[in-house]
Structure formats: C-alpha cells, structure tokens
Amino acid sequence: MTKRLFLLLSALFVLIAIVGCSNNNDELQAEIDDLNTQLTQAKAAASSGSSSGPSQAELDSVKAELEKAKEDLANAGSSSSVAAGDDATQPSGWGSRLKLVKDRGKLICAATNDSPGFSFINETGEWTGYGIEMCKAYATAIFGDHENRFEMQAIGWADRPTVMQAGKIDVMVLANTQNARREATWGNFTTIHHYAGMGIMSRLDSGIIADDWMSLDGTSVCVTAGTNYVPAAEDLKGQYGIDFETVQLADTGPAYDEGRCDFTIGGKTDLGRNQIDLTDPDAHVVWNSLMGKDPWGMLVGHGDDQWYDLIRFVEWAMINAEELDVTMDNVDDMVANSENARILRMLGVEGEYGQEVLGLDIDFAYNVIKKIGNFDELVERFYSINDETRVGGFYRPRGNDALWNEGGLLFAPGLE
Amino acid sequence: MTEPTTSSELRPVEDQSFATWVKVNLFSPWYNSVLTVVGAVMVILLLKVAIPFLLTAQWAAVTTNIQILLVGQYPSEELWRVGAGVLPMPFIVGAAWGVWGSMMRTFSVILIVASVLTVISSFFGDSMTPGFVLWFAVSPVLVLLGYTVGRRSFIGPRHVLIGWFLFLMLTLFLLRGFGEDSAMPYVSTSRWGGLLVTILIAQVGIAIVLPLGIVLALARQSNLWFFKAAALVYIEILRATPLLALLFLMLIVSPMFLPDITTPDRLMLAFIAIVMNNSAYMAENIRGGLQSVSKGQIEAAEALGMRGRHVTLFIILPQAIRATIPAIVGQFIILFKDTAVIALVGLLDLLGAAYAIILGQDAWRTADLEVFLFVAAVYWIFTYGMSSVSAGVEKRMRAGAD
C-alpha cells in the first residue's frame, strides 16, 4: 500500500517537474512550421511560373516573418528560466517601457518614505513630497492626468541597485546622488534637479573662518561613524596639508551642540536643517563652499532611450516653464493670449518638437504645468521659506538650484 | 479549596515593622546592601532622565499620526471598512475569555485597559480622529459582550475557534474590497499598514504555521524516504537562513524572475517569508513533542487494532501538542515580533510607520523617543497578553484539567 502510494507520488512529482521545465515554445515551433510550409508552397508556385502565384515581395515578407519567428524561438529558449519570451513582457529597446506602462494603465515609481520634503508619508497616510509630485508629473504627461494613474512603491536605500536591476519599476524618484559607477550599473540619471553637496558647519567661537579651509588646522571635527564623511575628512587633511582631530560618533548632533568639536561635516541640505535644532543657532555657520559634489537626479532603467527622453522632456518642460514664467495659474491665459512663440510651442499650441516621436501628447507640457506647476512652484511647495504655504518639508534656499540665467546651475535645453 | 499546610505557617510571628522588613529584605547580607545601593542609584539616574522627558514629551507626534501607526496608508475615506473588519476581534477575545476562563483573563483585561486609556488620552488633545476614538470606546464593550456570550454553556472552544477563523476571513475580505466601481473599491495590499498589518500577519500566520508545522514534523518522522527528505531539507535550510535574508530574497530578488507585466504583492511575499521561516521552527518544536510520546502508547493503540493514521491523529498528536504548548505559544510570540522585520524592506508595518514618521516628517524629527516608546508599548501589550495565555495554559495542564 505505502509502496504503491510512494510510486504514484514520485510519478506525479516527475510529471510536474517535466511540465514545469518545458516551455510554451510549442506555439512558436508550430508558427515556424506553418511559415515553412507557406514558403515552400510559394516557392513551388513561383517555380511553376503560374501567373496567379505570389510576387517576389510577398515571398520576401514571408521569409522575413520566418526569420523573426526563429529568432523569437531562440530568445525564448535562452531566457526560459527568466520569462517566456514575448514582446509585451520583455522591455528591451525603444518604446518597450512606454508600452508596458500604457498596458498596465499605471506608472510605478519607487521611493523611500524617509526623506522630508522629498518623499514621505503625511498624517493621513498619503505619499507626499517633491519626488511624488514628479511621479505625478510623468503620469500626467503620459496619461493626461495622474488620478489613479500612478503608484508608489516603498523601497529601502540599500535596495536601489537590485530594484533597478529587477526592472519592475518605471522611475525611481529618490534623492539619488549621481556618479559614474551608478550611471554605468544602475541606470540613466535624468535631469539633475538639486545640486547638493557635502558641506561644513562650524562654531563661530572656534576661530574657524567660514569658507577658509586653512583655518581648520588644529581644530576638531565630529563625523558620523561609518559614513563616507569619515574618508572625506581624511581627504581634506591631505588636500590642504592641514591636521585636525577626527571624532567619530554614532550621533554627531548632541556632541557638536555641546561643544565636543569645532566643526561638523554633513550634507549641506541637512546641515542647514540641523542648525535650527541647535541650542543657539546663531553661534554657528554653514559654509557656502562645498567639500564634494552631490547632484540629485531621478533614475530610469538602461536600454530604452525613448523612455529616458520622455522622462527628461517632462523635467525640461517644467524648468522651461519657470524660465518663461508660465505657472499653474496663468497657463490657460498663456495658451489663449500669449504671443511668445517659445511659450506657444512649449504648450503645444503651435509647432512640434518631437513629442510624437516619444509617444507624448502634443500638449503634454500644458497638462503637466496645469496639474503640477512649473519647477519653481513645485520646489516652493516643499522647500519654501514660508511656513504657512509649505506642505511638510523644510526651508531650503534655492542656492545652486537657481536657473542658469539667475546665477544657478539648473539648466534645461529649449523645447524647440 | 483546601491548600496543603506549608511550613511557613508554623513559624513564629515575626516583627512586621517597616524597618525590620527593609533590614531583612534589602540589607541583610553585605552583598545585598551593595546591590540595593547600586539599584537605588540606577533608579535615580533613570528618573533624572525620565522625568524631564515625560514633562516635555511631544506626544502629538503619536496622536497626529495615529492613522499611519494603526492602519498605514489605507485610504482615509475607506477607513470604516478597517473599523468594521477589525471589530469582531475584541468580541472573539471576550468569547475566548468566557470559554477558557482565567487563561484569557489577563489578555482581555489588558485590551480593555489599553482601549480605555486611549479614549481617555484623546480628551487631552484634539488631534485624534473621532472614528478611532469611537472604535476604542466600543471595543471594551465588545470584549465584555463576548465574555457574556462565551459564558453560555452551549458555546465551546470549537465555536470560538471556528468563529475566529470565519471572522478573520471576513476581515480580509472587507479590507481587500471588490471592483473599482463597487461600494467597497479594491484596496491594494501595498496600502495596508501599521498595527493592522502586524496583527493580520500574526493571526493569519498563526493559523497557517501551526498546521504546516504539524505536517512537516510528521513528514520528518515518516517512514517514506521522500517525505522525510523533503521535510528535512525544508526545515534545515529555512532554520539555517536568517529571516531577514529570506525577506530580501523574496521581496527584492524574486521579482527578477517574474514576468515584467506582473507587479508582485510585496506584503504577500513578506508574509510567505515569515510563514516559511516560522513553520520550520514550529515543526521542530512539535517534533520534540512527538518524540516525547512513549512507544508503549503506539504499541497499545496498535494492539487495539487502530490503523496507522488513527494512531497518529488520536494517540500521538494530542499528547505531543499538549506537551509542546509552551513552545508553540513561544513561537507565536516570536512570529508576532518577527513581523517588525518587514519594516526593513520598506513595508509600512507598525515599526515601519514609526520610521516613516520620525525620518520622513520634518515636524517630528526630534520626537523619535515618543514614537518608539508608543510602538514598544503596543508590542508589549500583545506579547505580554500572549505570554499570559501561555502561562494560563500551563497552569491548567498542571492542574490536570482539560
């Protein structure tokens, strides 16, 4: 009895294994066989010289189809352990991501929920922040509206490379620092929207002069243990030929506040925020000079140039709108009354600058500005100096993020 | 109730003054004096930190964000579904209290006290939504209602278990909803969160882990090499992998092998990881119980002509499970606490919500202690409740009652 049961079960197991391992390549094989017969029939017809036979062009098209089907079969075979090869589910090359997003009916953005102002969850459990608004902007550009058209996926900071590799998400809206290795291995960074950097905050009574690197000689620094600020502090010593004491701590805030050290290193954005929490904020200064570059951009996967351009078009439109003073409130008026050709072209009233090649609506920029606003409006929503109008977030001066023609680094190609 | 006379009652009456009590209990041998002094210093140091903190604590960080902490990102306009779906839980707890008596008393009382305290605290600040206050006001009544129902003689343990299971299904159904246009639109599990997810994972996990553990333990004891090997491989691999590694594998690596059009249900993946890990441990707990059943029992059953599966079902398993109840409840507590690990993969359970508040909301970046204390208190309420149930079960077993 038990032996028979065992045999039955093992047979079942083997059967499941066979079914599980085999692919649905049979369909493709059948298609190839079908095309082969068509081809031989066509050849036979051609050689018999019958006038009703297919033309050379028809023959060629059948041949091409056959080649394509063979290729599909080969692809399906090589990637059998990953996914059944099918164009709809295999995002590779131009246009595949947009097709995937449109089929899904939703844009999926990945973000962390721990960045104040950038991506966080408000009291009612809604995703909020600059990054989330950008995700809405992309969705608006693609679908005309963002209502029920985007979905946020929470990830951790350490998951970024794997999440990008898995390719389940469409855009990563994170405070991602761009650098060469990430550009090569993670994906394409889109327009840099925040030029952050590693900065210094020092005590006014310590004898350190703001923005004077040599004045750091003989002082002491508080750095968070295990971060890249530790090697950065060492680099500083070599770079300027100075020496100071490095105090590594798990939490530098209280130690610096109590006067354990003369200066501290951190992201410049964070330093400004930490300064407010100190016992006497006026006794400290955040340097204008930066120790290192920290450009932030959104991320899209490698391999689909159309998608990369589409995302950048949305960002360019918002930056250009700021440059041209087109806002959420006056955009309708601009469409109706503006005589500026650059504005009319941007909003899709006249002319075209490649929207259709990228699969965007001709007036995508109008939709984005109408629903989300221009770059400045968006930044002001989360980083304004005005506590009343700010939705979460904190005050962050535009600084380097000002427009290129206003002394900043923010630059976008013209939409023309 | 007759208690055996113990020797302590025969001792002569001692001087019961406070000074004597202090001398005997705190300073009697010299090393106790040292310990008392050290202990007192530590208590004073703790109070020195705790009192200023408690006086200036920003409890608004917890109360304004109570929605995230309790239900995560569940849509605000659909919150009534959570309230309605979770309401049967206090009732079931009350019914269990009525049926099992003292075993469930501590747990029920803790739930009532916690609910009442929540309602009282809402009078000191207006930041809590009336809906939540109403829920906490109703739940103690439901516990007591469940108790009176559970006291009825026709309600047995079986009814409570079946009721619990049915209500759990109903809760999941309500939370999930139906199509887009129906009265209860579909709410993706990516929006479930907070204490709700912690409790749901724990409950559904317990409902699955115990049977799965029993099956695995029996398979490992089986005479059929295939089942034995499969169970052995499963248990040994999963017991040797940290839960966190398994979670990363499930949530971050496994999507790579899925077709691109599918978006995996991350909560479900995390749940599967927790169940897999805990069922391996559970199987080993139960195997310990299986081995404790003496061979004589099996031989006796066979001598009576019982068939193999009947011997297992009616002779071995009941004894094995009874012997391992403390270990099983211990595993349930571990499972409950394990749910906190999912915060590390970006899911918004109770701990994840706490992180999201402290790190994400600029207004509360200095209120970390308040939020974490709240989270710790919530975990304590449930784990202490569970361990009190375990203690109650052991007491009953020792008394020989069934």
- The predicted complex's ipTM stands at 0.80
Nearest CA of chain A to the CA of B275: how many Å? 22
Residue A102 pLDDT > 90: yes
DSSP state of B185: B
Distance of CA B64 to the CA centre of its chain: 26
Residue A331 pLDDT > 60: yes
Q: Where are the alpha helices (DSSP H) in A23-150?
A: 25-47, 56-78, 96-104, 130-143
Rounded CA gap, B298 and B302, in Å? 6
Which among B64, B74, B360 is the nearest to A120, CB-wise? B360
Q: What share of chain A is helix, strand, coil (3-state, %, to 5)?
A: 50, 15, 35
Q: Do A116 and B345 touch (CB under 8 A)?
A: no
> Which chain A residue has its CA at the smallest distance from B358's CA?
A114
Q: How confident is the model at residue A144 (pLDDT cuts 50, 70, 90)?
A: very high
Which residue, A57, A299, A56, is CA-closest to A163?
A: A299
Residues 313-342 of B with CB under 8 A from A: none
Which among B258, B263, B360 is the nearest to A114, CB-wise? B360
Rounded CA gap, B371 and B351, in Å? 9
Q: What is the CATH number of domain B60-399?
A: 1.10.3720.10
> Which chain A residue has its CA at the smallest distance from B75's CA?
A125
Question: Mind listing the pLDDT tens digit for each residue in A384-408?
Answer: 888 888 888 888 888 889 999 998 8
Q: Where are the domains of chain A?
A: 25-89, 96-187+301-406, 194-294
Q: Do A83 and B260 touch (CB under 8 A)?
A: yes
Q: How confident is the model at residue A88 (pLDDT cuts 50, 70, 90)?
A: very low
Q: Do A123 and B65 touch (CB under 8 A)?
A: yes
Report the 3 state secondary structure along A133-194: HHHHHHHHHHHCCCCCCEEEEECCHHHHHHHHHHCCCCEEEEEEECCHHHHHHCCEEEEEEE
Question: Mind listing the pLDDT tens digit for each residue in B332-372?
Answer: 999 999 899 998 887 889 999 999 998 888 888 888 889 99
Q: Do A82 and B191 touch (CB under 8 A)?
A: no
So what's the pLDDT on residue B91?
A: 92
When scoring A99, A123, A132 by the number of chain B Cβ atoms within 10 A, the one with the most, hence best to mutate, is A123
When scoring B361, B365, B368, B371 by the number of chain A Cβ atoms within 10 A, the one with the most, hence best to mutate, is B361
- Which portions of chain B are predicted below pLDDT 70? 1-15, 125-127, 260-261, 399-402
Nearest CA of chain B to the CA of A90: how many Å? 7
Contact residues for B265 (Cβ-Cβ < 8 A; gap 6+): B188, B189, B190
Predicted model pTM:
0.78
B315 HSE (CA, 13 A, CB side): 21
Which residue, A192, A173, A182, is CA-closest to A110?
A: A173
What is the rounded average pLDDT of the residues A70-84?
A: 46
> Which chain B residue has its CA at the smallest distance from A116's CA?
B360
DSSP state of B149: H
So what's the pLDDT on residue A272?
A: 82
Question: Mind listing the pLDDT tens digit for each residue in A14-44?
Answer: 666 555 444 444 555 556 566 666 666 656 6
Question: Taking CA A306 as the corner, what is the angle to CA A118 and CA A308, rounded to the nearest 5 degrees?
Answer: 25
**Chain B touched by A9 (CB under 8 Å):** yes
Residue B225 CB coordination number (10 Å): 10
Rounded CA gap, B208 and B369, in Å? 35
Rounded CA gap, B68 and A292, in Å? 37
* CATH number 3.40.640.10 given to A194-294: no
Rounded CA gap, A403 and A324, in Å? 11
Q: Where are the domains of chain B?
A: 21-55, 60-399
**Chain B touched by A197 (CB under 8 Å):** no
B83 within 8 A of B174, measured Cβ to Cβ? no
A249 within 8 A of A255, measured Cβ to Cβ? yes
What is the rounded average pLDDT of the residues A80-108?
A: 68
Residues 325-364 of A with CB under 8 A from B: none
Residue A366 pLDDT > 60: yes
Residue A332 pLDDT > 90: yes
Q: Do B72 and A125 touch (CB under 8 A)?
A: yes
Task: Name the CATH architecture for the domain at A96-187+301-406.
Answer: 3-Layer(aba) Sandwich (3.40)
| A96-187+301-406 shares its CATH topology with A194-294 | yes
Phi and psi at A400, nearest 5°, equal -65, -20
Nearest CA of chain A to the CA of B355: how many Å? 7
Q: Which one of A106-120, A214-228, B170-184, B250-264 scores highest in mean pLDDT? A: A106-120
Q: In what order do the strands lie in the sheet with A127-128?
A: A114-115, A119-121, A127-128
**Chain A touched by B245 (CB under 8 Å):** no
Amino acid in position A341: A
Nearest CA of chain A to the CA of B206: how many Å? 26
Question: Mind listing the pLDDT tens digit for each residue in A4-13?
Answer: 666 666 666 6
Residue A79 pLDDT > 80: no
The pLDDT > 90 percentage for chain A reads: 41
Residue A229 pLDDT > 70: yes
When scoring A3, A12, A108, A124 by the number of chain B Cβ atoms within 10 A, the one with the most, hence best to mutate, is A124
Residues of chain B positioned with their CB less than 8 A from the CB of A89:
259-261
Question: Tokens standing for A11?
Answer: 């047979």
> Which chain B residue has its CA at the smallest distance from A156's CA?
B346
So what's the pLDDT on residue B266?
A: 86
Which among B223, B253, B346 is the nearest to A154, CB-wise? B346
What is the rounded average pLDDT of the residues A289-318?
A: 92
Which among B252, B266, B361 is the nearest to A392, CB-wise? B361
Q: How confident is the model at residue A82 (pLDDT cuts 50, 70, 90)?
A: very low
So what's the pLDDT on residue B129?
A: 79
Nearest CA of chain B to the CA of A60: how many Å? 33
Task: Return the H-helix or E-strand segment holding B219.
Answer: helix B194-221
Residue A281 pLDDT > 90: no
Q: Where are the alpha helices (DSSP H) in B222-265?
A: 225-239, 243-248
Question: Tokens standing for A153?
Answer: 């996926």
Phi and psi at B101, nearest 5°, equal 70, -135
**Chain B touched by A11 (CB under 8 Å):** no
Residues 27-66 of B with CB under 8 A from A: 64-65
